[in-house]
Every structure is written in structure tokens, then in C-alpha cells.
Structure 1
Amino acid sequence: MEYIDLAERFVAAHFPNASIAVVGGSTARGERTRTSDVDLLVIGDAILPDGQIGAALTVDFEGEVFEVFAYSPMGFTEWAERSVAQHRPVIVHMLVEGVPVRGGDDLDDMRRRWSKTLDAGPEADEHELGFRRYVITDVLDDLRDASDPLERKVLAATVFERTAELMLLTAGKWIGTGKYLPRRLRALPSERVDALAEPYLRGDHDALADAVEHELLSAGGRVQVGFVR
């Protein structure tokens, strides 16, 4: 509750005309760490200068760091649709799952609309999935062939990330970057995730390559010769 009160003061000081304000991230989930900032989504008419429709800014306020995502209503729709197309709708998750600071009917209406989008899951067409399989096939071959230890570590990280995204998309789940990728993976069956994650964590690159081959097969197989990007 103290962070909601803090967010209310922040909005009053910096975005007094905002009609919607929602705290997201670890603060909303009650999972703050020592370095956590306060993720805040604000939406309203004329809350940004010079006709801007969207901005991301970092602000120090009362000893806390706020990571602010500020939009006009039109700007939110534009950026939300863009993030949905990229399968990483961060601001949509904030809107739907965060803790309201300001809201009312406007927030309720937006949540109803965008909840349907989140529930529907991402739409990745066959060409995109084929391209992702193509990239994984290429990186996987590089991993199997690499002998330099640093190259192998970098390639292992890349093929793990790309394969995790493919697993999520073929299961109709949203993807994420950084710490959000493993959090998204936990929506999948644990034995499937462990088969990929455990060899990666222990640095067993050969076993990781085998796990990636298995996931490629599950998604339709390797893609290489003849694929048009």
C-alpha cells in the first residue's frame, strides 16, 4: 500500500491530468528486490508535451526510481498493437494485471478490451515460425561445431533464448525478454522446460543441442535449404 500511496503522489506531481495510472511489475506483485524500481503506466489526454503520443522516462521521486510509460489514449493503442504484433505486450500486461492508482470506467473499459487480446494469445503465422526455426537451425549447427569456449557460451545463450521463444509461440503463449523469458516459460509443462533449461544451466552444451533438436522436431523440424526469408 505504501507504494500505491507513493505512486498517487507521483502522478499528482508529474501527471495531474492523467485519467489512468497503474502500477505494474514487481511492485504490483509484491516481489520487490533491493534494486527494484516502480513501473508505472499513465494514460491521458495532453499529459505529454508538444503533441507527443507516447514516452518512456525514468524519474527520481521521494527517493524511489519510477520507470514511467506515458501515453495519450491513441498512443497507448498504437504502441499496444505494435507490442502485440511483436508478441511481447508489456504495457498491455501492465494495464490488465497491475494495481490501479487512477482508473474508474475508463480503466475498466480498456481492461475488458485488452484482456481479450491477452487471453487470445499471440498470432505467429507459419512463415514467422519457419523463420524462427531457420535461425535456430543455423545457430544450433554453429553451437555443435564451435570449439572456442567463449563462442560456445554465447551461442548457447542465443539458441536457448530463440528456442524458448519458439516453444512459447507454438504453445500460444506470449514471449518476453530478459528475466521475463524464464517467467513466461514457467507457463509450460515443467518437464519440457527442464529438458531445455537444465543442460543450459550446467553448461552441458551437447545436451542443450540435443534438447534444441527435440524442440525443433516438435515445431516441425529443421529449416535450412530452400527457405525464403
Structure 2
Amino acid sequence: MNSSRIQPVEAAKKFIAEKFPDCQAALLAGSVVRGEDTATSDLDIVVFDEKVESAYRESLFEYGWPIEVFVHNLTSYRDFFKSDRESARPSLPRMVSEGIVLFDSGVVSFIKDEAKVLLKKGPEVWSIETIVMKRYMITDALDDLIGSTNPAEDLFIANTLANEIHEFVLRTNVQWVGSSKWVVRALSQFDEKFARLFVQAFDLFYKTGNKDEIIMLTDEVLKPYGGRLFEGFSLGKGDRI
């Protein structure tokens, strides 16, 4: 942490006192709360203000800190909870659940309970049709990687495949998914052994160009669901008269 900065909780409280003095509640979340902050970490602050007509997000720099503020009224957060569950990326529920209370007029406990229930429930269960479609998409990306002889294209095919495998493993097990750094975090929270194999396979490829471990990992992931899928896959065909 930058030694010239004031402490994160102190900075967050000053921010709320100056920018949102009449809010109903405010929380500090993110990496600084989890003890995972780095030299480039920001302060994620969630504000609940009944005077706000619609939710918004804003980036600022105050008190030596980059600050991301997520502002909601006392009902708008539920729409975001709902959309986060539908996307299986629980950004706001996670921030609310883990957040340190900066100010509370008496509403935080109820909102935190809602977030914790949602997180425990997990995302919506994938349908059989969705699993079949995702098998096809992973097979398609894997075939592209196997057949490619262009190292530049390989980099981006592998990136697509990594995201699709991570999503498939987590969603078929009714787990939350991630993006960016949260891809590995989400996998590790679910299955540390698989996360290590996942990282190992793609690390080997990016360092050496060796695709073998990615191919084996992909086949292992698809095996319980019928393996690779190409022949017979159909989407939107329907019944013909």
C-alpha cells in the first residue's frame, strides 16, 4: 500500500461524510477488505441513498485513493442482485456481503442478509439444452486450437477456450463464475485441485506452445456430459412441415 495514503477505512469514511452526508448506509468492499490490495488497488464503496432516482457508478480520485463508488437507492440494488444472478457474476451481492459498514441508519443488516441468501443459493441451473450448446462451443474452440498452425491466432483461441472451460465447470456445478482475475479465484473457491490443473495447462501453452495439457483438460471436463460434440448438433432448426 502507498505509505502516503491515509488508511482505507478512514479515507472511505471521509468520502461518505463529504459526498453522501445524508445517505442511509455505506459499505467499503473489494480487495482492501479482503486483505488482497496491491499498489494499484482502489476503494470500492457501495452507497445506499433513498434520494437517488436511479443507480449509478462513478470513478474518482480522493485522499490519495482511486475510488469506485456504486450508488443505489433502497430498491434499485434488487434489480442488480437479480441481473447478477442471471449472469452468474455476483459483483454487487459479493460487495454487500463482505463490505465493512462505514455508516448505517438501520438498513444494512437486511440488505446484507439478502446478499448472503443470494450468494448461498448460487446462480440459476443450466438447462440440458444450454449444456449441449456449451459442449458444442467448447468443441469448436478446441478443434480450432488443435488445427491451428498460426501461433498468433493460437493465443486468442486459447483465451476463448479458457473462459469457456471455466464457465462450463462452474455453471454445471451451480457455482458463480468470474472474469479477469476472478476466473482463477472462482475456480479455486470451488475446486483447488482443478484450478491448479487449469492454470498449469494454460501456463504451459503460453510459455511453450504445447497444447497437449489443454486438450486433455478439455476432454476431462466434457467427458461426464458426453464428450466433444459436433455431429448432430442443431440450433433453431425446429420441426419442419
Q: Secondary structure of 1:187's partner?
A: helix
Given the alignment of the two structures, is residue 9 of structure 1 paired with residue 14 of structure 2, yes or no?
A: yes
- Residue aligning to 1:44: 49
1:40-189 maps to which residues of 2 (within 5 A)?
Answer: 40-47=45-52, 51=53, 53-103=54-104, 105-126=106-127, 127-189=129-191
Q: 1:122 touches 1:174 (CA, 8 Å); kept in 2? A: yes
| Residues 57 and 69 in structure 1, CA contact (< 8 A), matched pair in contact too | yes
Specify the SS of the correspondent of 2:190.
coil
Instruction: Say if 2:23 is the partner of 1:22.
Output: no
TM, length-normalised to structure 1: 0.91
Supply the AA of the counterpart residue of 1:130: V
Match of residue 209 from structure 1: 215
**Is residue 227 from structure 1 mapped to residue 229 from structure 2 by the alignment?**
no
Give the distance between the partners of 1:128 and 1:81, measured in 2 at CA: 20
Displacement of 1:220:
4.2
Cα shift at 1:133 = 2.0
Distance 1:219 1:103, change over 3 A: farther
Q: Matched residues in 2 for 1:124 and 1:152: separation?
A: 32
Q: Is the 8 A contact 2:187 2:194 kept in 1?
A: no
After superposition, give the CA deviation of every residue in 1:6-47 in whole Å (9 maximum; x if it has no partner).
Answer: 111101111222212111111111221111111111112114
Contact 2:124–2:174 under 8 Å retained in 1: yes
Describe the superposition over 1:116-165 as per-residue Cα deviations: whole angstroms up to 9, x where unpaired.
11101111321333332222111111111111001111111110111011
Identity between Structure 1 and Structure 2 (%): 25
Deviations 1:97-133 (A, max 9, x none): 1111123531101111221111011113213333322
Q: How many angstroms apart in 2 are the aligned matches of 1:162 and 1:215?
A: 11
State TM-score, norm by structure 2: 0.87
Moved over 6 A (4+): none
RMSD: 1.7
Counterpart in 2 of 1:199?
Answer: 201
> Match for 2:38 among 33, 36, 40?
33
- Unpaired stretches in structure 2, ≥5 consecutive residues: 1-5, 237-241
CA deviation profile, 1:162-209 (whole Å, cap 9, x unmatched): 101111112221111100111111123333223322121111322202
Secondary structure, in 3 states, of the residue corresponding to 2:178? coil
Quick one: distance in 2 between partners of 1:131 and 1:124?
A: 15
Judge which range, 99-108 or 18-27, deviates more.
99-108
User: What is the DSSP-based 3-state SS (H/G/I as helix, E as strand, rest coil) of the residue aligned with 1:186?
Assistant: helix
Task: State the aligned residue count.
Answer: 225
Question: Which sections of structure 1, spanning at least 5 residues, go unmatched?
Answer: none
Q: 1:13 to 1:189 in 2, by over 3 A?
A: same
Structure 1 stretch 192-201 or stretch 7-16: which is displaced more?
Answer: 192-201
Deviating more after overlay: 14-23 vs 53-62: 14-23
